[in-house]
Amino acid sequence: MAVAADWRTFGQRAHSGLIAAYALVLGLVAISALLAFGAGDDASKTPEPEATLRRTGSLKLPPKPPPPKFRTLAPAESAGMIEVTSDGLRLPRISPDGWTPWIAHSRRFDPSGPPARVGLLMINVGTSEPLMQRAIDELPGEVSLAFLPGTPDLPRWLRRARDRGHESYLMLPTEDASGVAERGVRPIEVSADAAENLRRLRGAMARGGGEAYVGFVVRSPGPVSQSEAILRPLIREIADRGLAAVEINPTPDTVVIHRLTTELGTGYARSTNILDYRLAADSVAEALDRLVTWIGERPTDRMPRHAFGVVQPDGVAIDAIVAWYKRRPSPAPVSLVPIIGHFECRDACMNRLAAQPEQFRP
């Protein structure tokens, strides 16, 4: 589960050493017909009629079990990815062995499906508890969820989301007049100094209990996301703690966040596809269908496409996604994968992961 050049998928880089996808490798068991029907000391027995032999076949192999949705780490490895500060905050960190939380907490997916990939990310989960419960319980597990750090009892909801198969993220709380007001979480502001903004970032990390989430989702453009001076210490903290960054940006400008994640060595993904854009004439279902159609149109001279769409926690959006999932053709021409399947991880990021080689294995 990275893209080089402009958005190569994890699966495309997996062949050159990236982790993109997870697959369960099973050994095949050969069963001899001689062993099944007698040999050795019984070889002198009268042979069965030829017609009977023709009806005799080897035993079928047991069905291949599906791979687990998430990694299961030893308790010591999981504990190594948590730092408890002197004031009691539980913060994620890269373990002494080199395990990074953004890999350890990502959802596995099957790389053997169609190479064209679509993803779905529901952001600002937690504004309404009934909608949050519906999103967790009703949406397909491949749909990733980004929670507001101010969500009451957030660690419990993160665990519930994981139990239902959802890959989880936290929203980066930033000043935004059009954004969602957080409860009990002070936003990162251009007017605050670097030390104060770092304190607020760590406070948001701690609200999630420091575990079970892949990284932060940043809405862009905005005052914070457009300022390298403000972002640099934040992205450094995110990278150094083994988390990843997802940028939601419908504009062509991707310079600041993308460049910082590349330089500072962490995973990065970006979406320009706001499926419930209020000024658009299309419904969520129509926007999703259009996105899937575009992804499925592979130009002969290019790699398979991939992209993920973004929606708010709205009842209409939940209904539309559930209905779309149920009417998908089988076999589907486009793979539905969690957001980890849309990440890139370049040189500095790869060097960080290489400290724990197990992260490159299914």
pLDDT, tens digit, 9 for 90 and up, residues 114-156: 999 999 999 999 999 999 999 999 999 999 999 999 999 999 9
Domain assignment present for 28:
no
When mean pLDDT is compared across 3-17, 134-148, 305-319, the lowest value belongs to 3-17
Domain assignment present for 77:
yes
Q: Give the whole-angstrom CA distance, residue 359 versus residue 88.
A: 29
Q: Which residue has the higher pLDDT, 131 or 301?
A: 131
Verdict on whether the full-model pTM lies above 0.85: no
Give me the long-range contacts of 76-85 (CB less than 8 A, separation at least 24). Answer: 77/104, 78/104, 78/211, 81/210, 81/211, 81/242, 82/210, 82/211, 83/210
User: At residue 299, what is the residue type?
Assistant: P
- Beta strand 90-92 with 82-84 is antiparallel
pLDDT for 66 equals 61
Residue environment code for 315-324, b if the CB has 16+ CB neighbours within 10 A, otherwise e: eebbebbeeb
Which band of pLDDT confidence, cut at 50, 70 and 90, is reported for residue 10? very low
Tokens of 210: 């420091």
Domain assignment present for 53:
no
Domain count, the chain: 1
Percent of the chain having pLDDT more than 70? 77
Q: Which residue has the higher pLDDT, 213 or 68?
A: 213
**What is the extent of the structural domain holding 221?**
10-22+67-360
pLDDT for 220 equals 85
| DSSP count for the chain of H helices, then E strands | 13, 11
Phi-psi region at 45: left, alpha or beta (left = phi > 0; alpha = psi -120 to 50): beta
pLDDT for 19 equals 38
CATH code of 192's domain:
3.20.20.370
What letter does residue 174 receive in the DSSP assignment?
B
pLDDT at 208 over 80: yes
pLDDT for 65 equals 60
Question: Over the chain, what is the mean pLDDT?
Answer: 82
